[in-house]
């Protein structure tokens, strides 16, 4: 039986992240300021409170939204403040190492780098330095043996320099010794391990794959299968798109014959892509349900039309004095879909709303989907009606798993309208 949860008092600041980014996250992308005054620091207890607010105190979190670790560093901030001396990303570093970098960010940017959670945690400038021991690079895998020439993977295309004085400059040489860390980062040499929330387009963008997601798919068709939109955590993908997944022709083969075979493979691949696109469209039509029959091509956010807490219910549980959306009590992991075609303007952590997605529709209205357990879209992406945005959960301030759905006239809290009335005006039978 599905739980009938509802969230507790939501906070108004959950879509805009002030000076950082529109999506939720922790430390933003601003570069260090030059010439700061008194050094700033905070206690470990204060940083624990910030992490509890930002990531539910999960120091190794990586949801695929572009922010990593307990204090939700963006990759650019982690690199700008020297985090890569510890680990490639914040979620791969130890708690002490993340706090050490956070104190540099606090010194340069102030507590505004965590605009919501710094207030909740009482984070301010001017405190005593945290009692942490960041240690050396790859702090979470210090028990791994030091890299030696024998530890270099045999499959590495280029030989690792045998310079004894620069062990830290060759992290790839320790691939076998730090297998667990490489798997967590999702990349080892020219390969990548899929994590939750990944898409081929995102992997291609973040890893600068030659030829984009299409070439990435072609190079990994045997692993992925016939649907490029369906990848699973744990799948190992090659990032070397210049190498065909099929066996390379022998050099002794005539050039004309190799050219003909290449043309045939290209034509076959193009034909398969057309067939796959047609199948994908057919699947999308089936998933859209009753929305396919409406002239507006709108649908409900979840397949179930059972409503928990309705819109407009008054009470002290909400800071506005009333419930600003409608709750659909569904089990964790239920598919959450876009009610109509739109652009993704927020995708990530939203404070009391937990993991959320906010869409801007062509009619100027905004729809919000909150308390999700996983996201499958990113900011700037265009989605269609019925397209999956993620899966339901119980993140943020909730008492049980459900999808909190809002419709607003603007992106900010307080501009809500009746979401069911809006869907009905679009032809959705709900």
Residue 277 resides in a domain: no
Domain that holds residue 229: 174-242
Statement to judge: residues 289 and 392 lie in one domain: yes
Burial (CB count within 10 angstroms: exposed 0-12, middle 13-18, buried 19+), residue 247: exposed
Of 24-28, 98-102, 369-373, 403-407, the one with minimum mean pLDDT is: 24-28
Statement to judge: residues 293 and 410 lie in one domain: yes
Residue 1 resides in a domain: no
Q: Residue 314 pLDDT more than 60?
A: yes
Residue 250 resides in a domain: no
Residue 13 resides in a domain: no
Distance CA 349, CA 26 (A): 9
Statement to judge: residues 297 and 412 lie in one domain: yes
Q: What CATH number did the domain enclosing 51 receive?
A: 1.10.530.10
Residue 160 resides in a domain: no
Statement to judge: residues 106 and 200 lie in one domain: no
Report CA Rg, the chain. 24
Residue 10 resides in a domain: no
Q: What CATH number did the domain enclosing 192 receive?
A: 3.10.350.10
Closest-CA residue to 17 (of 258, 348, 339): 348
Per-residue pLDDT tens digits for 352-406:
899 999 999 999 999 999 999 999 999 999 999 999 999 999 999 888 999 999 9
Q: What one-character-per-residue DSSP string does 296-313 give?
A: T----SSS----SSPTT-
Per-residue pLDDT tens digits for 185-197:
444 458 899 988 7
DSSP reduced 3-state for 172: helix
- Over the chain, what is the mean pLDDT? 77
Q: Within 10 Å of residue 150's Cβ, how many Cβ atoms?
A: 8
Per-residue pLDDT tens digits for 212-243:
989 999 999 999 988 888 898 889 999 988 76
Beta carbons of 377 and 344 less than 8 angstroms apart: yes
Q: How far is CA 122 from each of CA 8, 45, 46, 98, rounded to the nearest angstrom?
A: 22, 10, 7, 18
pLDDT of residue 358: 96
Statement to judge: residues 325 and 222 lie in one domain: no
Residue 315 resides in a domain: yes
Q: Provide the domain count of the chain.
A: 3
């Amino acid at each position: 039986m599905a739980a009938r949860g509802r969230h507790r008092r939501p906070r108004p600041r959950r879509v805009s992240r002030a000076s950082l980014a529109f999506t939720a996250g922790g430390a933003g992308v601003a570069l260090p300021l030059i010439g700061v005054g008194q050094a700033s620091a905070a206690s470990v207890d204060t940083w624990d409170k910030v992490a509890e607010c930002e990531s539910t105190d999960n120091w190794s979190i990586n949801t695929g939204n572009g922010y990593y670790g307990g204090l939700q560093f963006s990759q650019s901030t982690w690199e700008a403040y020297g985090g890569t001396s510890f680990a490639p990303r914040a979620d791969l570093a130890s708690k002490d190492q993340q706090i050490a970098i956070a104190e540099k960010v606090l010194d340069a940017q102030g507590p505004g780098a965590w605009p919501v959670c710094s207030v909740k945690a009482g984070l301010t400038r001017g405190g005593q330095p945290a009692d942490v021991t960041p240690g050396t690079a790859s702090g979470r895998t210090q028990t791994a043996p030091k890299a030696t020439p024998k530890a270099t993977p045999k499959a590495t295309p280029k030989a690792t320099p045998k310079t004894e004085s620069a062990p830290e400059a060759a992290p790839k040489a320790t691939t076998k010794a730090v297998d667990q860390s490489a798997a967590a980062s999702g990349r080892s040499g020219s390969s990548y391990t899929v994590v939750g929330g990944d898409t081929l387009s995102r992997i291609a963008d973040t890893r600068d794959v030659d030829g984009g997601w299409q070439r990435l798919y072609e190079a990994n068709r045997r692993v992925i299968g016939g649907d490029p939109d369906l990848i699973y955590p744990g799948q190992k993908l090659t990032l070397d798109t210049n190498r065909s997944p099929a066996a390379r022709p022998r050099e002794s083969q005539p050039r004309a014959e190799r050219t003909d075979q290449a043309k045939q493979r290209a034509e076959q691949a193009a034909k398969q892509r057309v067939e796959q696109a047609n199948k994908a469209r057919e699947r999308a039509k089936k998933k859209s349900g009753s929305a396919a029959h409406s002239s507006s091509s709108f649908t409900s956010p979840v397949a179930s039309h059972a409503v928990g807490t309705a819109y407009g219910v008054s009470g002290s549980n909400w800071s506005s004095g009333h419930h600003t959306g409608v709750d659909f009590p569904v089990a964790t992991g239920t598919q959450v879909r876009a009610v109509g075609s739109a652009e993704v303007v927020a995708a990530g952590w939203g404070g009391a709303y937990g993991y959320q997605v906010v869409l801007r529709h062509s009619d100027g209205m905004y729809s919000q989907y909150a308390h999700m357990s996983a996201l499958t879209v990113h900011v700037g992406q265009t989605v269609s009606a019925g397209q999956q945005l993620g899966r339901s959960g119980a993140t943020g301030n909730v008492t049980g798993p459900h999808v909190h759905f809002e419709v607003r006239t603007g992106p900010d809290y307080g501009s809500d309208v009746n979401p069911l009335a809006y869907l009905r005006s679009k032809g959705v039978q709900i």
